[in-house]
Structure 1
Amino acid sequence: MIETKIRKVGNSAVMTLTSEMLALLDAKEGDSLFVVRGDDGGLRIMVQDPSLKSVLDAAEQVMDENREALQKLA
């Protein structure tokens, strides 16, 4: 486990990613990241995957188009 702190920068709260974290993510400065909330309530950080982004965008569009039906099913 790697510990990091949250600090204030302007109006935002930021978390610093150490070089060790970047290496584990196979990421570098300037890369985009996804943060996804898991079923257990934890957060998962992933390097952006263009194919995943297109799938997520398509899923969001379907959910927007079918919001009423999905709410009835929930």
Structure 2
Amino acid sequence: MIETRIRKVGNSAVMTLTTEMLTLLDAKEGDSLFVVRGDDGSLRIMAQDPAIAEALAAAEIVMDENRDTLQALA
């Protein structure tokens, strides 16, 4: 487990990613990251994956096209 702190910068709360964290994520400064919430309330940080970005874009289209049906099912 790697510990990091949250600090205030302007009106935002910022979590610092250490060099070790960036290495584990195979990410660098300026890269996009995805934060996904698990069913248990945990958060998972993932480096941008084109396959995930494509799947999320497709899901967004489906949700937009079926918004009324999805709201009725919710």
Q: TM-score, normalised by structure 1?
A: 0.90
CA RMSD in angstroms, aligned pairs only: 1.1
Hey, what does 1:17 align to over in structure 2? 17
Measured against aligned partners, the alpha-carbon deviations of 1:5-63 in whole angstroms (never above 9, x if no partner) come to 10011111100000111111111111110111111111110000122111101101111
1:66 maps to 2:66: yes
Residues 1-74 of structure 1 aligned to structure 2 (within 5 Å) = 1-74=1-74
DSSP-derived class of the 2:40 partner: coil
Report the 3-state secondary structure (helix = DSSP H, G, I; strand = E; otherwise coil) of the residue aligned with 1:59: helix
Q: Which stretches in structure 2 are left out of the alignment for 5+ residues?
A: none
TM-score by length of 2: 0.90
Aligned length: 74
Q: Distance in 1 between matches of 2:20 and 2:65?
A: 42
- Show structure 1 runs of 4+ deviating over 4 A: none
Q: What is the CA–CA distance in structure 2 between the aligned matches of 1:11 and 1:71, rounded to whole Å? A: 33
